[in-house]
Amino acid sequence: MSYCLNSGCPNPQNSLQTDVCQACGAKLLLRDRYRVIQTLGQGGFGATFLAIDESLPGHPNCVIKQLRPSATAPHVLDMARELFKREAETLGRIGNHPQLPRLLDYFEANQEFYLVQEYVSGSTLQQIVKRDGPLTEHGVKQFLSEILPVLEYIHTNRVIHRDIKPANIIRRDQDLKLVLIDFGAVKYQQQSQTSNSEQTAFTSYAIGTPGFAPPEQMAMRPVPASDIYALGVTCIYLLTGKSPKDLDYDPTTGELLWQKYVHISDHFAKVLENMLEVSVKQRYQTAERIFRELDLEPYLESLEKGMAKQNTGSKRKSGGYRDPDSTGGTPSSPAARAAMAIRARQKLDSTGFQTGSIRGSGLDSRPSNSSPLRNRDNSTGRGREFAGEKSKIPIRLDADSVQTYYGKGVRDFASHDLNSLSLQRANLSGANFHQANLSKINLQGAVLSNTDFGRANLNRANLRDANLVKAYMSNADLEGADLRGADLSSAYLLNANLRGANLCGANLTGAKLTEEQLAMARTNWMTVRPSGKRGIW
């Protein structure tokens, strides 16, 4: 079905083959490339649609958010335009995180505003709880261990989400990671404060969801701790299956009365109570503080024991997750990967290397020592570490050590100095080399699919015939790199430096990069374009 986005269309449903609406005559292809096929959700200020991008090979899915003001007064349109620009700028700034949707396009047409985002296939936490029932304390702790680094990342970038709830957190089918979506209500903490009247005008249209939003946010004074309150309410939903509107509250304090519906430890109950403090001053102020209070490292060890009893493909009733790879290979579920990290940590401790936590986060574009809460292995969701702990493995490794650590389950080599190493034909799939120094490294014929090279130095690296399918290489320095015959299909190369890179014979089918980038690289008639066609650019 091809869906018409004209708000006045009497019958928006059309056949997939037509390019003009049969009811109102409006064009069905937005920007001559996006075809809407169904609605995903609708509100008073806009709607969200599932679409296909007909300009790309395979016609991949994407999400189109249409900001459609209900009034046509000039000040309302200006306000809508400001909100639209704010969400686009926010996604453009923070959307490189693997657990946040990427911004693909944005434009204005006929006084309506459109954002095109990456489509995340999966189930929301709301859908999972309705299907499988509430989670146990262990399941909610596992959820927090995955989502807290994402929250810390957006807050470090001075963004307040303002609409955290189960319906806005998706368990992605592809890798079972949690993805935080819907940044339409976000507030960006500007360096210079705007006037109160201006703040009131903007936030009145994007205040969040009643019951999940704390009092200060409902009063249009959101702070980062407002997201922590909403995350606490989300935890209560995961434990009880009850929406906040179905819970009683103390009329004198405004506190939610949820304790009688759950069976959890006293310590975890106190953590949730602190997250749900009505007074913002008494509430946890940072995601890092919650992680410390929960002490999730020991929790992961108890998780490992439970994983041994799990059958292939069975549903985890406690967490609502499945692990299709429990029989071998690289585990897919966060729980299995956490257990694998524990085993690797125990094995490495017995080899005589320094104990402690692995350096490097890969959470964002900042140096690894600038974030108080770091993800020990961002690419696979293993355990977390805190600043101030000793490095577990040396920052400078030789080729044999890299492969030894990888074989023992270590995937995080972020910020490491690996220049000039010879790793020909090595299997390092899914590894994290975020901000690592890989200049002049020899990775010819290596398996590097789904590997994170974000902001890495790959200057004059040998990547000839390497498997770089779905590799993440945003902002990487590939100047002078040898990529002849490399498979870069579906790789993410936006903002990468390709000056002098040799892409002769490389396969770029479905890769994300611009013609300006490719104009700086060397290509030939064997180079496969992102469209899937061969030819010189």
Could you list the active site residues? 163
**DSSP-assigned states of every residue in 151-214:** HHHHHHTTEE----SGGGEEEETTT--EEE---TT-EE--SSPPPHHHHHHHHTT----BTTB-
Residues 135/261, Cβ–Cβ less than 8 Å: no
Residues 134/218, Cβ–Cβ less than 8 Å: no
519-532 CB burial, b ≥16 within 10 A, e <16: eebbbeeebbbbee
Closest by Cα among 267, 258, 276, 273 to 294: 267
Closest by Cα among 478, 8, 346 to 448: 478
CA–CA dist 423, 419 (Å, integer): 11
Residues 36/5, Cβ–Cβ less than 8 Å: yes
Closest by Cα among 417, 314, 301, 434 to 362: 434
122-124 sheet: strands from edge to edge: 122-124, 169-172, 178-180
Residue 297, number of CB atoms within 10 A of its CB: 18
The one-letter code for the residue type at 385 is E
**Kind and range of the H or E element at 322?**
strand 321-322
**Kind and range of the H or E element at 118?**
strand 112-118
Residue 211, number of CB atoms within 10 A of its CB: 16
Alpha carbon 462 to its chain's center: 29
